[in-house]
Structure 1
Amino acid sequence: MAVEAGANILKAPMPTTVIVVEYDPSWPALFRFFYERLARTLGSMAVTIEHVGSTAVPHLAAKPIIDIDVLLADEADLPAAINRLANIGYGYQGDLGIPGREAFLAPAQDTPHHLYVCPPQSREFQRHLAFRDYLRAHPEEAKKYGDLKRALALEFKDNRSAYIDGKSEFVARMTDRAMAAKARV
């Protein structure tokens, strides 16, 4: 996404300790809190605001961090979205090497969460939804994923990169299945 020159990009260190916990039934309500604030802030710029990632899948073990994707109505709205989000404490981080989604650092006083703003037609947005929906529809695969994450968190407790690398093949395989199933519909 093109961003006007001078956009303030914040670089924050990634936490190194990996903690995976059992599903918390309060996660949907926490997402709803963020949803309402983001909807008020972004207004008609946001086509949809989605709870994605493991905390969006009932009964799935996860890092206790809510993942949120916002789909913009128009790519040209990104600079205004950056400004509006900055006004409520979010720090713009750029795409962090993943085209099709722009990352934001959550306000320091908030419960930890990841916020991504995506342009219309974002492949990453579609992949996030497909992965979430596939795991919701296939609890046996969600269980395998939870088991894998628990094992990786124990093995790589202090190595976030190794934890992410360890689950990447599973995530890619499930996302590919989900996207293929979605294409058949």
Structure 2
Amino acid sequence: MKKQLPDMTLEELWELFPIFLTNHRECWKDWFEEEESKLTELLPMQKIVRISHIGSTSVNTIYAKPIVDILIEIKPDCNMQKIKELTESNGYICMSESGERVSLNKGYTVDGFAERVFHLHIRCAGDNDELFFRDYLIDNPSVAKEYESLKLKLWKEYEHNRDAYTDNKSDFVKEVTEKARELYSNRYS
């Protein structure tokens, strides 16, 4: 009998779910829109500020992990635990909670990745650096290609260590996000 995901060590999970990058796929936009539609039906929309497609799958000029990242920004008076519970009832698994942030995944199985994989990030409105980063990459193709080059370099080195892969991108992401926040200061007010 196969181990269930909660019983696996971090190293076992990283082996089962390695980092891999692929050319942009047009279907990712459709996957986002279909998942957004499901979330819109599921969640109390009067408490939601915005649902956004973020991450590299939202930038159609660069390689990406085939995982669609979704950011849900909620109003300050919204019960984040209620939103978390509703998303869990729709097949999401909570991966982490810290303060005013909840991260959930969908599409991870004991046999590896499902056809469609999602990372859902629930945050309070305004905690949305990913939107600025995404927009800057879309508006600046040469910077997007720099990011792609960095990811391709890190991919094989950290194929089975998701934390190290992410950590080694963080300085680049932070620098670009700071530029984007300055440039697009009122975009998501």
The answer, yes or no, to whether TM exceeds 0.5 is yes
Please tell me whether the aligned partners of residues 63 and 148 of structure 2 are also in contact (alpha carbons under 8 angstroms): yes
Residue range with higher mean Cα deviation, 53-62 or 84-93: 84-93
Change (3 A) 1:135 1:83: same
92, 97, 118: which one aligns with 1:113: 118
The percent identity for this pair of structures is 27
Q: What number of residue pairs does the alignment pair up? A: 171
| Preserved CA contact (<8 Å) 1:55 1:65 | yes
- The CA deviation at 1:182 is 2.0
SS at match of 1:105: strand
Matched residue, 2:174:
172
Give structure 2 stretches of 5+ with no counterpart. 1-5
| Counterpart AA for 2:36 | Y
Deviation for aligned residue 1:74: 3.6
1:15 is aligned to: 14
Which of structure 1's runs of 4+ aligned residues deviate more than 6 A?
A: none
SS of the aligned residue for 1:113 comes to strand
RMSD over aligned CA atoms reads: 2.4
* Cα deviation, residue 11, structure 1: 9.3
TM-score by length of 2: 0.80
Matched, 1:30 2:35: no
Correspondence 1:17-166 to 2 at 5 A: 17-44=18-45, 45-95=47-97, 97=98, 99-106=99-106, 108=108, 111-122=116-127, 125=128, 127-166=129-168
What is the Cα deviation at residue 161 of structure 1?
2.5
The SS at the match of 1:22 is coil
Q: Does the Cα contact within 8 Å between 1:75 and 1:120 map onto a contact in 2?
A: no
Is the 1:27–1:66 Cα contact (8 Å) retained in structure 2? yes
Letter in 2 for 1:153: W
> In the TM superposition, what is the alpha-carbon distance from 1:24 to its structure 2 partner?
1.1
- TM-score scaled to structure 1, two decimals? 0.81
Q: CA deviation at 1:100?
A: 4.1
Unpaired segments ≥5 residues, structure 1: 1-9
